[in-house]
A and B are shown apart, each in its own frame.
Chain A
Amino acid sequence: MVVQNIAFWILAVAMAGAAIGVVRSQNVVHAALYLVVVLAGAAAQYILLAAEFVAWVQVLIYIGAVVILFLFGIMLTRAPMRGDTDLDNDQRWPAAVVSIFLLGVIVTLVVDAFGADEVKINNSLLPVGKTATIGSSIFRNFVLPFEVVSMLLLASLVGAVVIARRD
């Protein structure tokens, strides 16, 4: 338990720092690479919670596909990479006030609601995150959302092509 806590806090500090880097970096490519740190940290947290299948899906889809898409987007929009132009607008302080207020509200609520609850990491957690369990749950209980998601992916594929093509 102690080892898992230490691992959690190391990962949490790295993720928090990298998340600040994503929103504060003045270099677009650096922001994308900070995002990789956050996503990999989230995958490691999933492993800590014994959700191995979701962790590897996170690595494959987020780090493998989404970040590559972002890098393509940065390349195709010729985003400024030298840090000479301002990437932020002039709402920095109102945005900081709003997000700190929101953080205060959420943390107060969460501590009030789940203050004493503990996640027990032991052998009884292992069957929950197993790929076989997730697979049978998707195809038994969640088969309709699964089909809807596949239609949504098809629609977004067609939509992205239609939006981005040159006429």
Chain B
Amino acid sequence: MTLRNRWRQSLSFFMLTLTGICAVVAVSLLFLILGDLFYNGWRSVDWDFFTKLPLPPGETGGGMANAIVGSIEIVLLATIMGLPVGFMAGVYLSEFGGKTFAFLVRYMADLLNGVPSIVIGIFVWIVVVRRYHFSAYAGGIALALILIPITARSTEQFMNAVPQTLREGALALGASKWKTIATVVVPAAYRGIATGMILGVARISGETAPLLFTSLNNQFWGAGLRDQTASLPVMIYSHAMSPYDDWHRQAWAAGLVLLIGVLFANVAARLILSRGIAVQK
């Protein structure tokens, strides 16, 4: 081997090893994050965390029961408002869409998907909060606005993946178009659609920025859905930025709980999707 070739081979080996290092670094980041959260948060997660309210600053103890419940409330509101709309829009795009209108809707959905969530928060603040004050409803609306375009595009994608010949088979038996969609196409695509929905809900559960000006925060239980409501992400933010050590500890615990929830949903969704074609029972 000539000297030049030896150099080339060494360079090749070096560069390729470097890429391997990049990949290892990327993967370790996830484990470092998880590890750090576990280390700092595990000791702080106790029964109190799930059951008690936050105590005034300076006092140790207490929990984030209101934030957990508040997050569930807000995300539930967003899910009820956003999933059906997104799903139906996705069905329209895939099964009924005319050329120009569907193109416009698709384009706008992608646009909304790319808008920073804080801008959505501003929008809901202008339209809802200025008139009706901070509330869980406002927070739910903001999250729903994020959920709708995600759900629409992912539903459309999985419905499009159903082969046309399946639709023709149903139509040839005398089924009307909507019956074909409801009884053949959607069941054929349901795994992907469900996955998209789970991932979307997981995503909005972790959103903080849109809640900052809509549901705000609440150190107490609040007076119902019309009142400002605590949520895990906002609590984490406010507690982490505070100067109190105990609040920092709570922030870690909350971060751990939130992350486990989100990652669990993600893993579950991916497992559902990878199971292959469904047989309708």
Tell me if chain B binds chain A.
no
A residues engaging B (CB < 8 A)?
none
B residues engaging A (CB < 8 A)?
none
